[in-house]
Amino acid sequence: MGALDGLMQGFQVAFSWEGILFVLIGVVTGTLIGMMPGLGPISAIAIMIPVTYGMNPSSALVMMAGVYYGAVFGGSTSSILLNAPGISGTVATSFDGYPMAQRGEAGKALAVAAISSFIGGTVSVVLLMLFAPALASVAISFGPPEYFALMFLGLTAISSLSDGSTVKALISATLGFMAATIGIDAQTGTNRFTFGNPNLMEGIDFLVIALGLFALAEVCFLILNRKDKSLSKQSDIGNLKLSRDDFKEMKGPMTRQSFLGFLLGVLPGAGATIASFIGYITEKRITKKPEEFGKGSIKGLSAPETANNAATSGAFVPLLSLGIPGSGTTAVMLGAFLVMGIQPGPLLVQDRPDVFWGIIASMYIGNVFLLILNLPLIPYIAKILKISRPLLISLVIIFSLIGVYSISFSTFDLYLLLAFGLLGYLMRLFSFPAAPFILAFILGGMMEQALRQALTASGGSLLVLVEDPISVGLLAVSFLSFIVPFIRKKREDNKQNQDAA
């Protein structure tokens, strides 16, 4: 059976009343859960698994897929409104989304995020439709050296994530690297910095750090500066309407990041997080006004939002066509498939074309639903900011605690969360940026593992890192992006000197 027939069958599944109903249920549940700070797609899917017992597999999986990308879609809300990213994929969203909301443009920020998500999601589904079986080879094209190079490129973002002192950004990143080493080292099985505490053996969960450094630190800041009148503007929602200029701003990032995000999503292990960070930095590099980034730039919000949703569809490539789950979330998805008696893998497209193409076709509908549902809801969702400050602050604290507890069921993690909240507040007080910390934490762990895997396989020879054109290319881009800002700055200085003279 050709891909076209399969696709037709997929659309039949997706456009049946049952298909549409379950896509709708899936995306609505997904966005609602995703909007809550602390709850991301993993919890969303895990909550839904028992609901699907006894359902027809293709409807059930269409619904689960809807929950997944719905949660990523909704995940931006808490990043923008409360600076409380619920998943690693929306950390970069808060860099410019939260400043926009603080400036009194919460409605606009949510609209930008929704439209970018929609475009990222839709373009990537089209790519998925056209190339899913063919892209399987792209998904496995990255070995440890290539992953190392990719993470290295991601880390060059540290220098561009700091507005103030580069030294402070580097210190913050170093702390992030240090936090990433805590736990049992996968390559030797040795405990590192666990101090005999079994709770630390698995390492620190990303959510603990993100909610501590961002949400709780922000809460501390708000409480201690409650008399500050300049913060009261935050409850303004602003105009939701986007002007033609705004669309012009978004056009570039949306086009580029739909493709780039999708490609990065296809790589197992990279996924939405790396896609959103790389999306953010590439746009910052390309733009003519990089100084606006981090202060509420539309481009800076649109880029990670497009990229993370595009990457989410991309993540279905290794899952559906290889049976390889590239992340914790897709691993839980894989579990859901197995419960249904469906084994994702190279044979899925032949054995169960209804499931394979049904999911892909349903994602198209799902994205349309998400946009239609979200745009009219924005004014209501943004009203969260109208909730009186003390109540809002308590809600953020409660949701952060619940979010962390629902992942590990461990009270130890709650203490850790508070500790990171305090650390985050202190960092803010002394103007150390938190973003490099979290970036180093996410990328550092993966980068270390990739480097050591590569070196074990090569018998310790560093040449393995530059043997492949992909890794050489990525490393070259990293070095360039490191050097170019210096050269540019020097040129500007020279020019200024000349002007002065």
Partner 1 sequence: MKKLWGLAILSLLVFTVACGEQSSGTTESDGEWKPDGNIEIVAPGGAGGGWDTTARSVGKVLEDQEIVENDVAVVNKPGGGGAVGWSYINSTNSPENIFVSSPPLIFVPLNGQSDLSYEDFTPLSNMIADYGAFAVADDAKWNNLNELFEDMKADPSSVTVVGASSPGSMDHMQFVKVAKAAGVDIQKIKYVSAQDGGALTQILNGSADVYSTGVAETIEQVKAGKIKVLGVTSEERLEGEVLSTFETAKEQGIDTTFVNWRGFFGPKDMSPEAVAYYEEKFKEVSESHAFADIRSKYGWDEMYMDSEAYKEFLKEQTEELGSLLEELGLGK
How many residues belong to the chain?
501
Minimum distance from CB of 457 to partner 1 (Å)? 5
d(CA 194, CA 161): 30
Q: How far is CA 300 from the centre of its chain?
A: 14
What CA–CA distances, in Å, run from 344 to 49, 63, 189? 17, 16, 30
Site string for partner 1, 365-394 (x = CB under 8 A): ---------------xx-xx----------
Q: Which helix (H) or strand (E) holds 191?
A: strand 191-192
**Of 8, 20, 24, 47, which one interacts with partner 1 (CB under 8 A)?**
47
Site string for partner 1, 110-139 (x = CB under 8 A): -----------------------------x
d(CA 124, CA 131): 10
311, 271 contact by CB (below 8 A) = yes
d(CA 249, CA 254): 9
**Of 5, 163, 202, 467, which one interacts with partner 1 (CB under 8 A)?**
202
User: Which CB atom, from 285 or from 452, has the smaller least distance to partner 1?
Assistant: 452
Q: Does 142 bind partner 1 (CB under 8 A)?
A: yes
Q: Does 89 bind partner 1 (CB under 8 A)?
A: no
Minimum distance from CB of 134 to partner 1 (Å)? 15
d(CA 219, CA 398): 12
Q: Does 473 bind partner 1 (CB under 8 A)?
A: no
Minimum distance from CB of 99 to partner 1 (Å)? 24
User: Which CB atom, from 38 or from 296, has the smaller least distance to partner 1?
Assistant: 38
Site string for partner 1, 431-450 (x = CB under 8 A): ------------------x-
Q: Does 174 bind partner 1 (CB under 8 A)?
A: no
d(CA 261, CA 69): 14
Minimum distance from CB of 351 to partner 1 (Å)? 9
User: Which CB atom, from 33 or from 310, has the smaller least distance to partner 1?
Assistant: 33
Judged by CB under 8 A, the chain residues 266 through 285 that form the site for partner 1 are 268-269
Minimum distance from CB of 37 to partner 1 (Å)? 11
d(CA 202, CA 70): 28
The residue type of 56 is N
DSSP 29-82: HHHHHHHSTT--HHHHHHHHGGGGTTS-HHHHHHHHHHHHHHHHHHHHHHHHHH
**Of 140, 462, 480, 483, which one interacts with partner 1 (CB under 8 A)?**
140
Cα–Cα nearest to 66, from 306, 313, 308, 272:
313
How many C-beta neighbours within 10 Å does residue 120 have? 35
Residues that bind partner 1 (CB under 8 A): 32, 35-36, 39, 46-47, 49, 139-144, 184-189, 191, 198-199, 201-202, 268-269, 318, 322-328, 331-332, 334-335, 341, 343-347, 380-381, 383-384, 395, 402, 405-406, 408-410, 449, 453-454, 456-457, 459
